[in-house]
């Protein structure tokens, strides 16, 4: 196995460079090849002496791996399956076996969004989620996260990245923060943090780091404003009650243009009552949070079904009447099981 260079920060590339006898400056040249010029092989690092390239190749590789499978929706959404391992690279940290993981490309008029995974499976156990049903099979390395962005065919046309794929990003916070540094740094992919959203179920112990160390938009999955009901749907409520999550967010100084949103799946007759709308409005009061209402995509063994159009509109209108900006999110990729909560990777063939 080799160490992938994609996903490494400039400081880490400096260590790599000095480790093979190069000057620190070579790290900037390597970053340019990796992140600006899209190198796929060390032989493309032509600024470096041949002997240094050969030295590098003993331990390192670029680390780019194309998806092993794609599924195309009739609405243009594409689901890509990435391998947990290749003969050269482990994309799962901690020596775990992992499972292959998915990223979803969602074109929409002048936007092209990539929904990336941060873990293979998930240990958060949300009742309504296919990924949660799979259990936890490992966290993705920074290289695995960056590879999803660089190695889909539509990479050059992407306008937005959302960490809403498999896994809880804040359960893999070091790798996610490192990937965001690579995505946003001028020496890296130079993305504006305003085009990146990290979605979390409210893992408060690491939420503060995401707030302090990045400027990305934040989305919190709420799904019920009532603690007893939320505990049944999302075990995380026991450790980190949603009231406390929003108390933290209320007191946090959100810089201009940094967006906070609440994700809310609407189940018919479960969490779509006027009392839920009123409590949700109270929960987010004092923040600039807007609400995204999401249609539910049925999964086996979960007893509730989605609220349909009129129910969603009633809920949205009540929130709007209470002064909350609420919108209904268009559902994408349901026919290829790429919609919210439907992602499920596979046991790696390798």
Q: Which of 149, 176, 158 is nearest to 38 (CA)?
A: 149
Distance CA 257, CA 192 (A): 12
- Quickly list H helices, 162-289: 173-184, 204-213, 227-233, 236-239, 242-250, 274-284
For residues 281 and 322, the answer to whether their CB atoms sit within 8 Å is: yes
Alpha-carbon distance values, 88 to 2, 39, 137, 142, 241 (Å): 6, 16, 20, 16, 42
Of 59-67, 79-87, 165-173, 303-311, which part binds ligand SF4 (CB under 6 A)?
A: 165-173
For residues 305 and 268, the answer to whether their CB atoms sit within 8 Å is: yes
Any contact of residue 31 with ligand SF4 (CB under 6 A)?
A: no
Closer of 86 and 118 to ligand SF4 (Cβ): 118
268 CB-near residues (< 8 Å, 6+ apart):
304, 305, 306, 307, 308, 311
What is the smallest separation between the CB atom of 39 and ligand SF4, expressed in angstroms? 32
Closer of 13 and 129 to ligand SF4 (Cβ): 129
What is the smallest separation between the CB atom of 236 and ligand SF4, expressed in angstroms? 7
Any contact of residue 168 with ligand SF4 (CB under 6 A)?
A: yes
Any contact of residue 262 with ligand SF4 (CB under 6 A)?
A: no
For residues 65 and 82, the answer to whether their CB atoms sit within 8 Å is: yes
126 is catalytic: no
25 CB-near residues (< 8 Å, 6+ apart):
17
- In this chain, which of 132, 138, 142, 188 binds ligand SF4, going by CB under 6 A? 132
Of 51-59, 121-129, 138-146, 279-287, which part binds ligand SF4 (CB under 6 A)?
A: 121-129
For residues 22 and 48, the answer to whether their CB atoms sit within 8 Å is: yes
Closer of 64 and 230 to ligand SF4 (Cβ): 230
Q: What is the dihedral of CA 158, 69, 302, 137, to 10 degrees?
A: -90
**DSSP β-ladder status, 69-72 and 78-82:** antiparallel
Element of type H or E holding 69: strand 69-72
Sign of CA dihedral 18, 23, 25, 28: negative
For residues 296 and 264, the answer to whether their CB atoms sit within 8 Å is: no
Of 33-41, 163-171, 185-193, 306-314, which part binds ligand SF4 (CB under 6 A)?
A: 163-171
User: Which residue sits closest to ligand SF4, CB atoms considered?
Assistant: 132
Any contact of residue 181 with ligand SF4 (CB under 6 A)?
A: no
Closer of 16 and 130 to ligand SF4 (Cβ): 130
Any contact of residue 337 with ligand SF4 (CB under 6 A)?
A: no
Any contact of residue 61 with ligand SF4 (CB under 6 A)?
A: no
Any contact of residue 292 with ligand SF4 (CB under 6 A)?
A: no
Determine how many CB atoms are found less than 10 A away from the CB of residue 347.
11
Of 58-66, 128-136, 261-269, 303-311, which part binds ligand SF4 (CB under 6 A)?
A: 128-136
Residues 182-201 that bind ligand SF4 (CB under 6 A): 201
Any contact of residue 219 with ligand SF4 (CB under 6 A)?
A: no
Any contact of residue 142 with ligand SF4 (CB under 6 A)?
A: no
Determine how many CB atoms are found less than 10 A away from the CB of residue 88.
14
What is the smallest separation between the CB atom of 129 and ligand SF4, expressed in angstroms? 3
Give the interface size with ligand SF4 as a residue count (CB under 6 A).
11
What is the smallest separation between the CB atom of 29 and ligand SF4, expressed in angstroms? 38
Of 50-58, 76-84, 161-169, 270-278, which part binds ligand SF4 (CB under 6 A)?
A: 161-169
For residues 197 and 150, the answer to whether their CB atoms sit within 8 Å is: no
Any contact of residue 151 with ligand SF4 (CB under 6 A)?
A: no
User: Of the listed 14, 102, 237, 263, which one is catalytic?
Assistant: 102
Residues involved in catalysis: 102, 340
Q: Summarize as ranges the residues that interact with ligand SF4 (CB under 6 A).
A: 122, 124-126, 129, 131-132, 166-168, 201
């Amino acid at each position: 196995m080799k160490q992938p260079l994609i996903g490494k920060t400039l400081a880490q590339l400096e260590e790599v460079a000095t480790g093979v006898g190069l000057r620190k400056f070579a790290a900037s040249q390597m970053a340019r090849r990796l992140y600006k010029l899209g190198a796929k092989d060390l032989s493309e690092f032509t600024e470096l002496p041949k002997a240094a390239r050969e030295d590098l190749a003993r331990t390192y590789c670029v680390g780019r791996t194309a998806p092993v499978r794609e599924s195309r929706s009739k609405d243009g959404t594409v689901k890509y399956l990435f391998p947990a391992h290749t003969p050269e690279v482990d994309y799962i940290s901690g020596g775990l076996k992992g499972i292959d993981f998915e990223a979803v490309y969602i074109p929409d008029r002048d936007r092209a969004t990539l929904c990336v995974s941060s873990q293979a499976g998930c240990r958060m156990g949300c009742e309504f989620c296919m990924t949660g049903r799979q259990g936890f099979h490992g966290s993705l390395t920074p290289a695995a996260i960056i590879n999803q962005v660089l190695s889909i065919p539509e990479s050059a046309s992407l306008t937005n990245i959302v960490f809403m794929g498999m896994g809880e990003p804040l359960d893999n916070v070091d790798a996610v923060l490192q990937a965001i540094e690579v995505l946003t740094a001028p020496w890296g992919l130079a993305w504006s943090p305003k085009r990146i959203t990290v979605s979390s179920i409210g893992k408060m112990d690491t939420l503060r780091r995401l707030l302090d160390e990045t400027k990305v938009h934040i989305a919190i999955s709420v799904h019920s404003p009532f603690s007893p009901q939320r505990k049944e749907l999302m075990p995380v409520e026991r450790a980190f009650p949603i009231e406390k999550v929003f108390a933290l967010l209320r007191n946090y100084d959100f810089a201009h243009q940094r967006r906070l949103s609440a994700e809310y799946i609407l189940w018919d007759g479960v969490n779509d009552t006027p009392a839920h709308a009123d409590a949700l409005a109270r929960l987010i009061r004092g923040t600039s949070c807007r609400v995204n209402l999401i249609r539910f995509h049925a999964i086996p063994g979960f007893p509730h079904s989605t609220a349909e159009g009129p129910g969603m509109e009633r809920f949205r209108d009540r929130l709007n009447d209470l002064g909350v900006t609420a919108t209904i999110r268009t559902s994408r990729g349901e026919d290829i099981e790429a919609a919210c909560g439907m992602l499920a990777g596979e046991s790696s063939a390798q």
